[in-house]
Amino acid sequence: AQDVAGIPNISSNPASGLVATDVNTVTTAPATPNSYFISSTLGGTYTVGAGGNYTTLTAAVNAYNTACLTGPVVFNLLDATYSGSETFPISINANPDANATNTLTIQPAAGVVVAVTGTSGASGTALIRLNGARYVTIDGLNTGGASLSMENTSTNAGTAVIWLSSNGAGLGATNNSIR
């Protein structure tokens, strides 16, 4: 419905760049309109590997990094090896929804012996980086004889398999377990 306000009865936020005579006649849109991103949700148990919910650990962690957590997340590793298809370093970032309930666990699936092997490349990197991440558990031994080993084959000094890093003062990786 139109009201009886003077012309033009239109505005935008931000107003910069808007050229319009009314809501039906916008000749130039705002220069930098406000926008928002709707994130997907993640919560539950997911399989990682051939035929799984995610084909690589890199893809699974990328989904975790951008998701709104609705509960604990478990990534069960299905394949015997994770190497050539992965993009190292795999960075598990701080997720604002992570807490004592909304945790992340990475573990081998029951009965699977898993090896994560690759090179992190340059010094100051790792295969797995907990980049300010909170409440992450990398569990090397599941039930039924399953196990998880990791090896960084980089020959550069200053590399690691798992790196706990900070995003600044008071923003370190906290409440994490590697077992």
The mean pLDDT value for 40-56 works out to 97
Rg from Cα positions in the chain = 23
* 18, 73, 82 from 152: Cα distances, Å: 54, 25, 12
**pLDDT at residue 115, as a whole number:** 97
- What backbone phi and psi angles, to 5 degrees, belong to 20? -160, 150
How confident is the model over 98-153, as pLDDT tens digits?
999 999 999 999 999 999 999 988 888 999 999 999 999 999 976 788 999 999 99
**pLDDT at residue 142, as a whole number:** 64
- What backbone phi and psi angles, to 5 degrees, belong to 109? -65, 160
